[in-house]
A and B are shown apart, each in its own frame.
Chain A
Amino acid sequence: MYGGGYIPKEESRKTVSNDDPEMLATFEERVTRGEKVEPRDWMPAEYRRQLIRMIEQHAHSEIIGALPEGTWITRAPGFRRKLALMAKVQDEVGHAQLLYSAAETLGKSREAMTNDLINGKSKYSNVFNYPAKTWADVAVIGFLIDAAAIVNQVANSKGSYGPYCRALERICYEESFHLKQGHSVFVYLATGTPLQRSMLQDALNRWWKPIMHFFGPSDEMSEHTLTLMKWKVKMATNDDMRQQFLSLYVPKIQELGLTLPDAELRKDPESGKWLFGDPDWAEFFAVIRGNGPCNAERLAVRKAAEVNGAWVRQALRQADAQYVTPLA
């Protein structure tokens, strides 16, 4: 649910392709005519590698994404909001499960992916490295960050890899509940008491920058990016998704009389494009590198969950069993 468009660049790799040109041609024809790639199909090594990275990162974003809103589960005001938040955060854990499962079909084990997460090797969406300071943060996250995630997921659901598309189908359906639920809290706070409204406006002011960072900086239209688009791994540019998000949701914020902390944010009447102030990409990169307000806490909590639960898993584990890659 929380897969932003941004996949961190790696150290420059020499992508010398050892792929059989005939197999590659068949593969690319399949993708071009809209046919899905399935788990044991021949695929370019780079396709497999990039898909694993992308799906894995999306899965990590979900399980880590459960933590900021999880902050408020025990304090949700009233039965309806409490039940809704419990269900929503449960869905995030559920989405992580669905996404790890899709990545597993490509040959990477859930243990290996979990290790890479807790050891800081694999990334997840930056936006979850920020703190959920008040109940109103739950509204902003539930409405606007889920909305951004939906833009990304709807784009990716038309991608080429079968298991990822199938996982996204279920995820997109559940996301529509999240968006409604988030928007509901948002509207109740915006139209409520002065205290509620100012709590919401404060949360919006704090989260706007991370939200503008959600889709990542403009793509470098390198050969690499173009190949990923040809292979339908990357389905839309970061800028296009950001524009789509702004078009859909800025009006919904403004119709409630709320303001956004960017004096330059406006829609250009001629081009129809949204213009905005410099989102501060330096902060984005600093946070991705581990220096955000909550990076250490997020990973420590995730690691603690694994460590504290190890005795349960180990008690029931059949150590000598041979397992196979799942179908999904």
Chain B
Amino acid sequence: MSVEIRSLDPRVNRLGLHIHEPGAADTLPPHDHWGTYQVFHQKKRGDRHGAVGIVHAPSPELAMVYAKEQFGRRGETANLWVVDTRHVLALDYGDQDMFATTPEKSYRDPGGYKVNDKIDEYREKMSHELTP
């Protein structure tokens, strides 16, 4: 037995809906909502593109159509990239230990080269030699 739905929403009434008992056909098959694309957004020329999220889409073109409105409908946008999620190789967070010692590599940093003490020491020495 199915009961017709009377809604306060005239759009819903135009759908002519009925309430039935749920059935086997009520499940969406796998990939019914397509695969995903990662979206990268650039606010202004000169900025880097940044990862902002995903869209579900069946093709790169539709991914771009959708990305514009899901991630560009407010504020400024200069540019967008969309990349099929399958084409993104992400490093595993479990491998973050590879980066553990990087902050200690002071030989790669400007701050790893302090010579002021050496200069001061030398000038001190020179001033003693000049003034016996």
Contacts and interface: CB of A to CB of B under 8 A. Distances in A.
Any A–B CB pair closer than 8 Å: yes
Interface string A299-322: 011011010101001101111011
Interface stretch (B24-32, B98-106, B111-119, B122-130): B24-32
Interface string A93-110: 010011001001000011
Contacts of A132: 8
A42 interface: yes
Contact of B7 (A71, A118, A319): A71
Contact of A323 (B17, B22, B53, B85): B85
A323 B31 contact: yes
A296 interface: yes
A300 to B, nearest CB: 5
A235 to B, nearest CB: 22
Interface string B59-70: 100100000001
Of listed B8, B15, B73, residue having the most chain A CB within 10 A: B8
A74 B10 contact: yes
B19 interface: yes
A313 B32 contact: yes
Contacts of B28: 111, 114-115, 306, 310
A120 interface: yes
A70 B59 CA distance: 30
B54 A328 contact: yes
Interface residues of A, number: 55
A311 to B, nearest CB: 11
Interface string A9-43: 00000000000000000000000000000111110
A324 interface: yes
Contacts of B9: 67, 70-71
B40 to A, nearest CB: 12
Given A42-B94, A115-B28, A313-B32, A327 B85 contact: yes
B11 A317 contact: no
Interface residues of B, number: 43
Contacts of A262: none
Interface string B76-89: 00000000011010
Of listed A110, A132, A314, residue having the most chain B CB within 10 A: A110
A289 interface: no
A131 interface: yes
B71 to A, nearest CB: 9
B33 interface: yes
A239 interface: no
Given A119-B22, A297-B7, A111 B31 contact: yes
Interface string B1-23: 00001011111100101110010
A326 interface: yes
A318 B32 CA distance: 9
B93 A41 contact: yes
Contacts of B73: 90
Contact of A174 (B11, B62, B74): B74
Contacts of B18: 300
18 contacts: A41-B93, A41-B94, A42-B94, A67-B9, A71-B11, A71-B12, A74-B11, A98-B53, A101-B53, A104-B54, A111-B30, A114-B33, A115-B26, A300-B5, A304-B17, A310-B28, A325-B85, A328-B53
Given A70-B11, A132-B8, 9 more contacts: A40-B94, A97-B70, A110-B56, A115-B27, A296-B5, A301-B7, A321-B31, A323-B31, A324-B86
